[in-house]
Amino acid sequence: MINEKPRVRFAPSPTGYLHVGGLRTALYNFLYAKHYGGKFILRIEDTDRNRYVEGAVENLIDSLKWCGLDFDEGPGKDGEYAPYMQSERLNIYLKYAEELISKGKAYYAFDTPDRLAKLKEEQTARKEQSKYDKLALTLSQEEIKNKLDAGEPFVIRLNVTPGQRVIVDDVIRGRVEFNTDIVDDQILIKSDGYPTYHMANVVDDHLMKITHVIRGEEWLSSTPKHVLLYEFLGWEIPVFAHLPLLLNPDKSKLSKRQGDVAVEDYRAKGYLKEALVNFVALLGWNAGDDKEFYNFEELINNFSLERVNKSGAVFNVEKLDWLNGEHIRSKTALEILPLFKEELDNSIYKDHNFSDEHLLKIIDAMKERIIFIRELIEKSPYFFEAPNLYEEKAVQKRWKPETPDELKKLLSEFEKIDSSSKEDFENALHKSAEELGIGNGKLIHPVRLAVSGSSTGPGIFDLLHILGKEEVILRIKTALEKINN
């Protein structure tokens, strides 16, 4: 570890939405920083102008903040290393690229796209690795000056010495060794004056005093180029940690083709941020036990890079669903209430005025039976309106020829009760069953059907208590009329 208080960064490109893989990278950086009392920095790598998407930065920040990943420094929260948008730092990259040229560690290259395409074609035909052939290094200083003065398009390339070993000590993967024979003379500054990812990444990580580079496995093969840049510029190399791939259940790489991959998709589907963060944290990490349910504080307290696995992590939506239900059940009814109201505002009941007391009772009755908050409405519409239809199979099974008379007896008992407490309904039902000489179930099932239209739901006395005496009586009378006809 470079110092006791790490500085880590999440550095996405603004190409659209925040991918769940990006969320995991951001989350692991955040958890690592907070575990050790360090800083979490957001840097926007927007130097590839062809892939830039309008509004993507705002979407990224919104998704991160929704998940609770509030950065310490970044766009709109400038620290001493601002600006945090790479497109606002172009003069910095050129300065260091020129320093590399002066040291002989980089060079100007004036190749045309046609020449590079032909070179690649020839190498492919010979079944060789596609690499730049260093032709530009044969130019004299005078030739280079003349080309620059004439305004010829150029790029600046890294000058990689072949036959060398580059060693990367990775926290997750251990010691990884690369031979520079397979490392290309990477372009550092493109012909449009913008830096490539590799150049900007290293310069910014150094200038922003990043201590730990925690990123996806796909960047491991680029790391030798980065290590060479650190060495050529005489800078301290940060600690590297490359995270395992995210996989579909069939072990292919997680992609949009096989399902949703954007954080905003899961948010729109009704997943709680606590559940999504908990789930994503477990995609490649565990604390060394079987525990799967974590709140945010527990994740911060338990997280370590040493417990991140090397092998790919399978994205299992069933597990996410389970965690969503568990996080709902861990909340109090009062904590769920604003989320419930939000769902009601987006439902057909948005113009109804339900009291908080009524809604809190519904939450308590249904909390154990749902995976999503919206299911408080979907699974129990009878709490918001009387049923129009009655479950056909349940009618055939539970509505016997004697049921109407038995329910009329029950109605007379319900009409006598003073309040709508669960106990009042329970006592009235027991009394009716006893006087009729039947089991409680002979009344419970048709009553449930009459007031809800369904054969399943919360406890019958919870259901009756929430609906209240007058509504229950009205619904039973309606059912007697509708079902008998």
CA–CA dist 127, 121 (Å, integer)? 10
Task: Indicate if 256 belongs to the active site.
Answer: yes
- Nearest CA among 455, 17, 78 for reference residue 266: 17
Give Cβ neighbours of residue 313 (< 8 Å, ≥ 6 apart). Answer: 244, 245, 246, 247, 282, 283, 284
CA–CA dist 363, 376 (Å, integer)? 7
Query: How many other CB atoms are found less than 10 A from the CB of residue 441?
Result: 10
Tokens linked to 13 = 């490109």
CA dihedral (281, 283, 288, 290) positive or negative: positive
The answer to whether 89 touches 80, Cβ cutoff 8 Å, is no
Strand runs labelled E in 308-426: 313-314
Residue of 256, 291, 310, 397 with catalytic role: 256
Looking only at the bridges linking them, the beta strands covering 165-170 and 174-179 are antiparallel
The answer to whether 165 touches 179, Cβ cutoff 8 Å, is yes
Give Cβ neighbours of residue 258 (< 8 Å, ≥ 6 apart). Answer: 248, 250, 252
Task: Identify the H or E element spanning 63.
Answer: helix 56-66
CA–CA dist 200, 301 (Å, integer)? 33
Catalytic residue ranges: 256
